[in-house]
Amino acid sequence: MCGIVAYIGDREALPVLINGLKRLEYRGYDSAGVAILNKEVNIYKCKGKVSDLEQFMEGKDKTGKIGIGHTRWATHGEPNDVNAHPHQSYHGKFTIIHNGIIENYARLRTRLEERGVKFQSETDTEVLANLIEYIYEQGKTDAELAVRLALSKVIGAYGLVVLCADEPDKLIAARKGSPLVIGVGNEEYFLASDATPIVEYTKSVIYLNDGDVAIIRKEQLILKTSGQDMSVPKVTELTFDIGEIDKGGYEHFMLKEIFEQPRSIEDTFRGRVRPDDLELHLGGLYQVMPKLVEAKRIIIIGCGTSWHAGLVGEYLFEDLARTSVEVEYASEFRYRNPIINKDDIVIAISQSGETADTLAAIKLAKEQGALVLGICNVVGSSIPRETDAGVYTHAGPEIGVASTKAFTCQVTVLAMMAILVGKKKGLISEERFKNLIHEFTLVPGKIEKILTKADSIKKLAALYKDATNSLYLGRGYLFPVALEGALKLKEISYIHAEGYPAAEMKHGPIALIDDKMPVVVVATKDSSYEKIVSNIQEVKARNGIVIAVVTEGDTVISGMADHVIEIPDAENVYATLLSVVPLQLFSYYIAVMRGCNVDQPRNLAKSVTVE
Ligand code: M6R
């Protein structure tokens, strides 16, 4: 949540900040602001998007070669001009941008107010700015020490960058719980919440660790750990290009990302799945494979779409590897007292690698002695660094807030893992293995075929764009697809949508069905096909409108449903990868027709780094 960006070097800072904020807007878009140091610090900030900020700044002095910028997802205080970042301390010496939550901000604020400090905003960040300045003035110390001392009094999470008017040659950055990346240029540095604003300037980056404090001058970076020890920065090379974070001619990132799925799935299994080979190569799991094979139970944790992928994982592991699986919302798991046995393995799934609840759940599992594996998309993010081993998804940057290609790549990784474990357990014969691998390699082509139907799905969307409620049903592997389809629709179009296991419908939701209620049924030919046909009949008997995703050539459901979307036949194991695609397109087109901001749905942010 919240995007932060900063620059120090010989360029004009503003274009770097504005470009960066645009790239980070997916993390929050309630307000935006910049502070640029020239002779003095000029702060411009306002409610709304980065484009609103650009308008607001027209005709003002924006020159300067050191600057910080912020795009906000509101936590403390409503989205308005005053609560927008950057925040300045009461005497204007410190200007800061912050991502995270200062949990003890109320107590700190009261103490500062008792000492006469005046506040402008309702934010926790202003408390931090004032605390730094208070310590700086009282202790007659330097900016770095004031920042360190202030942070030692803070409970909560932060990724922050501080500009001190008295020490105008430097930026001070610190991280605990919220990500911060430093791009290393030639006598210049770029800072951001993630690497997307940096990649157009440099591919060399340093990911800060929790507790790190960086003192950055244009010609020098000093990195210190929380214990004040100097630390040698570990420079990593970014593996993606600028082209991957542009819309590439599509109207929205979400549409581009839906259409990228054949390639992103292929990228995820490239080098890992080789058609002529009787192996699956998951290098990140080599060391832990014996434990994974012996595991008595796997606990999968994640949030939102990643949790849905986890549910598919449950079916995959139980089906192919006969390992018992529990799938947990990370936010619930972390606050329970979960029972974790010695032979259990925890798998954390996350696109961003920064989801606060998932990170906290990982820490809890590790404290209880579990081996924790990660399935993550963002290289170098916190989750891969916190887990013992794992597999990257290689979906490429996912910018649209609604997750699409990340989901299918997560399922791809889970399928590879389950097949591999099943094979190592002797549960999958050579012939079945070869067949599964062959079928796997056909998935991208089959998705290409589904994507050619985008126009007909768009026409269908036009018929239901004004619906107020909808139900999504599926069984077995396709139940998580129903959940994911419903989530896509509600989060980007604001139409109420519920996903249910089809057989559960008669235990309650059936009461909702009338002749205005679209019921989307994922009903491809699998082991529960006959059962779902009966469920469709139950809906039709109540005059419900049925939109069914069916296997090509299906005549039974075509004869019953109001609309069908045909998809190619596939192994049960891969049906999720195909059947989710039309649902993504259906939601996308409905949201566009309703005039919704598809890439930045209201109230949401891509990466939920607060609990
Ligand atoms: O980055 P993560 O996968 O950990 O994010 C978890 C959820 O916030 C995320 O999947 C969210 O539900 C999707 N953006 C919804 O499309």
pLDDT of residue 27: 81
pLDDT of residue 30: 87
State whether 223 and 272 are in the same domain. Answer: no
CATH number of domain containing 20: 3.60.20.10
| Secondary structure of 74-135 as H, E, C letters | CCCCCCCCCCCCCEECCCCCEEEEEECCECCHHHHHHHHHHCCCCCCCCCHHHHHHHHHHHH
Q: Is the beta carbon of 584 within 6 A of some atom in ligand 1?
A: no
Q: For 314-367, write each residue's pLDDT tens digit.
A: 999 999 999 999 999 999 998 888 898 888 999 999 999 999 899 999 999 999
270 and 177 in one domain? no
Q: Are residues 432 and 462 in the same domain?
A: no
pTM of the model: 0.83
Read off the tokens for 123.
Answer: 């934010």
Q: Is 403 in the pocket of ligand 1 (CB under 6 A)?
A: yes
User: Distance (Å, rounded) from C-alpha 483 to C-alpha 495?
Assistant: 14
User: Would the pLDDT of 474 be above 90?
Assistant: yes
275 SS3 class: coil
Q: What is the pLDDT of residue 77?
A: 80
- Dump pLDDT digits (tens) for 221-259: 999 987 778 889 899 998 888 877 788 889 999 999 999
Instruction: Indicate if the pLDDT at residue 34 is higher than 90.
Output: yes
C-alpha radius of gyration, the chain, whole number: 25
Residue of 476, 483, 503, 484 lying closest to 575 (CA atoms): 476
Q: Are residues 160 and 271 in the same domain?
A: no
Residue 274: what pLDDT?
77
Residues 104 and 22 in one domain: yes
611 within domain boundaries: no
pLDDT, tens digit (0-9, with 9 covering 90-100), for 177-200: 888 999 999 999 999 998 999 999
Whether residue 157 sits in one domain with residue 111: yes
Per-residue pLDDT band for 607 (boundaries 50, 70, 90) equals confident
Give percent above pLDDT 70 in the chain.
99
Tell me, yes or no, whether 124 lies in a domain.
yes
Residue 277 has pLDDT above 80, yes or no: no
- Closest approach atom of ligand 1 to CA 488: 16
Q: What percent of the chain has pLDDT over 90?
A: 75
Cβ of 378 less than 6 Å from ligand 1? no
Could you tell me if 207 and 253 lie in one domain?
Answer: no
pLDDT reported for residue 583: 98
Boundary-marking domain end, from 447, 472, 488: 447
Indicate the pLDDT class of residue 61, thresholds 50, 70 and 90: confident
CA of 606 to the centre of ligand 1 (A): 7
For this structure, is 606 an active site residue?
Answer: yes
Residue 279 has pLDDT above 90, yes or no: no
For residue 403, give the ligand 1 atom closest to its CA: 16
Report the separation in Å between the CA atom of 352 and the middle of ligand 1, taken as the mean of its atom positions.
8
**How many domains would you assign to the chain?**
3
Residue 300 has pLDDT above 90, yes or no: yes
pLDDT class for 503, splitting at 50, 70, 90?
Answer: confident
Residues 458 and 442 in one domain: no
Average pLDDT for residues 160-173, to the nearest whole number? 96
Task: Kindly tell me if the per-residue pLDDT of 572 is higher than 90.
Answer: no
Instruction: Write out the H or E segment, with its range, that includes residue 33.
Output: strand 31-37
pLDDT at position 588 is 98
Domain closes at, from 194, 215, 238: 238
Look over the chain and give the mean of its residue pLDDT values, rounded to a whole number: 93
What are residue 390's phi and psi, to 5 degrees? 170, -175
* Domain end position, chosen among 220, 238, 256: 238
- For the question of residue 164 being annotated catalytic, the response is no
Q: 200 CA distance to ligand 1 centroid (A)?
A: 26
Reported confidence tier of residue 381, pLDDT bands at 50, 70, 90? confident
Residue 86 has what pLDDT? 96
- Which residues on adjacent β-strands are paired with residue 43? 35
In this prediction, residue 157 carries a pLDDT of: 87
CB 607 less than 6 A from any atom of ligand 1: yes
- Catalytic residue selected from 22, 218, 423, 606: 606
374 shares its domain with 484 = no
Residues 156 and 41 in one domain: yes
67 pLDDT exceeds 90?
Answer: yes
The reported pLDDT for the residue numbered 231 is 87
How confident is the model over 70-87, as pLDDT tens digits? 998 877 788 888 899 999
From the list 2, 164, 303, 596, the catalytic residue is 2
Instruction: Quickly list H helices, 193-325.
Output: 253-259, 261-269, 289-294, 304-316
* Same domain, residue pair 328 and 439: yes
Q: Verify whether ligand 1 is closer than 6 Å to residue 382 (CB atom).
A: no
Q: What is the span of the domain harbouring residue 436?
A: 247-447
Q: Tell me, yes or no, whether 306 and 205 share the same domain.
A: no
Q: Helix H segments across 355-494?
A: 356-367, 382-386, 405-424, 430-451, 454-464, 478-493
**CB of residue 491 inside a 6 A radius of ligand 1:** yes
CATH number for the domain spanning 383: value is 3.40.50.10490
